[in-house]
């Protein structure tokens, strides 16, 4: 039986943009939106413990169906009492269906109406995932939000292939919903979110959004963006998509997590985001500041004995100096990655907290402008 506690309450809408504040209620706690979800692909947010993730203020994390299916396997996770108990995370967990990972396998995957057959990127073993199996796996993990299995086509792509994949995604969603509705899965079975596809074709995006928004799903995700297209194209297609999605369901933009994209996405009416970016950057010595990303290994930080960001309340900034972080990264100490990850996650969580407050107080538009005016986007910044 699906989570009977699941409910989305829309509380405020910004009068000058499409920004929204709401609350997603789940059996494992409330999620205040807009929200950023750190990624714990393999039941682990890399380099940090779940309690440390919780200390950043993150209320929900993402895990991945494909990776957990391969290792350690759904049976072991079920034996452990579900992924929450397995990894000791008490809050909600959203599981991506694995559609993007299957897409990323390239020539090692075969798509048919039945589903996907592919080779493991670990050992070459053959696996098959159908829409029904994707739901069964996620229910076996004890996921709170289960993403429907979708067929993603990369960018750029011919209209014919995009349309075929989009319509298959819609048919697969029907099968996901039907499988979840049987009621014979785990007692902790979560709710289903559908995924909008349609590539970079406005009419297909609108058609897909209307189909997903009208389906019997708890939320609507926007997939197939942030896959290599320019950011102005991504923004254009968010604007094309959101008017066709119901206001009463949370909207989730998949795979987006740079600070500027979070502010812009929220202005366009997005409620949920996820991305590996903050944790991956932290493992590679790139840390967020209000002025933009910095490379902490840079020699100019060697003698900086104050905090990385004096305005930040994370454990890293409250406890350690910039010079110490510089030292840790320059010497390859794992602690550096841990402290950098804590800071980067907290930085994004703080942005979401700021946005929620600004939407309620009516200052979102001016606060967004102030953030974007100050924040130097990577690639244009003089800080790196």
Tokens of 381: 């910044």
Query: Annotated catalytic sites, by residue?
Result: 96, 274
66 contacts 102 by C-beta, under 8 angstroms: yes
CA distances from 211 to 120, 135, 181, 193, 237 (A): 32, 20, 19, 13, 16
256 contacts 231 by C-beta, under 8 angstroms: no
φ and ψ of 248, to 5 deg: -85, 0
Neighbours of 333 (CB within 10 A): 14
Tokens of 189: 């079975």
Q: Cα(54)–Cα(325) distance, rounded to whole angstroms?
A: 22
Q: Cα(325)–Cα(332) distance, rounded to whole angstroms?
A: 11
209 contacts 220 by C-beta, under 8 angstroms: yes
- Long-range CB pairs of 111-114 (<8 Å, 24+ gap) are 111/151, 111/168, 113/168, 113/171
């Amino acid at each position: 039986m699906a989570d009977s506690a699941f409910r989305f309450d829309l509380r405020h809408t910004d009068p000058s943009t499409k920004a929204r504040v709401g609350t997603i209620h789940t059996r494992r706690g409330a999620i205040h939106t807009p929200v950023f979800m750190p990624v714990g692909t393999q039941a682990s947010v890399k380099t940090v413990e779940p309690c440390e993730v919780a200390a950043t203020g993150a209320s929900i994390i993402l895990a991945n169906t494909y990776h957990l299916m391969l290792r350690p396997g759904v049976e072991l996770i079920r034996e452990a009492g579900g992924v929450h108990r397995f990894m000791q995370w008490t809050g909600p967990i959203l599981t991506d269906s694995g559609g993007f990972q299957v897409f990323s396998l390239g020539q090692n995957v075969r798509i048919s109406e039945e589903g996907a057959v592919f080779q493991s990127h670990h050992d070459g073993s053959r696996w098959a995932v159908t829409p029904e199996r994707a739901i069964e796996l996620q229910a076996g993990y004890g996921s709170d939000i289960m993403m429907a299995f979708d067929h993603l086509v990369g960018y750029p792509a011919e209209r014919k292939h995009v349309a075929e994949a989009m319509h298959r995604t819609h048919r697969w969603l029907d099968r996901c919903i039907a499988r979840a509705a049987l009621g014979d899965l785990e007692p902790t079975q979560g709710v289903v979110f559908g995924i909008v596809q349609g590539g970079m074709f406005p009419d297909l995006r609108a058609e897909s959004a209307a189909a997903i928004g009208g389906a019997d799903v708890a939320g609507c995700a926007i997939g197939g963006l942030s896959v290599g297209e320019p950011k102005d194209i991504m923004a254009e297609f968010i604007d094309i998509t959101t008017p066709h999605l119901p206001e009463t369901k949370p909207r989730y933009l998949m795979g987006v997590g740079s600070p500027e994209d979070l502010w812009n996405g929220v202005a366009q009416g997005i409620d949920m985001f996820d991305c590996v970016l903050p944790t991956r950057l932290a493992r590679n010595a790139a840390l967020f500041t209000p002025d933009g990303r910095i490379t902490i290994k840079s020699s100019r930080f060697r003698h900086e004995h104050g905090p990385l960001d004096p305005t930040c309340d994370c454990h890293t900034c409250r406890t350690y100096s910039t010079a110490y972080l510089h030292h840790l990264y320059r010497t390859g100490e794992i602690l550096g990655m841990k402290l950098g990850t804590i800071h980067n996650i907290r930085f994004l969580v703080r942005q979401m907290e700021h946005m929620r407050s600004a939407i309620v107080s009516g200052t979102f538009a001016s606060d967004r402008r102030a953030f974007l005016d100050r924040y130097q986007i990577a690639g244009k910044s003089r800080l790196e």
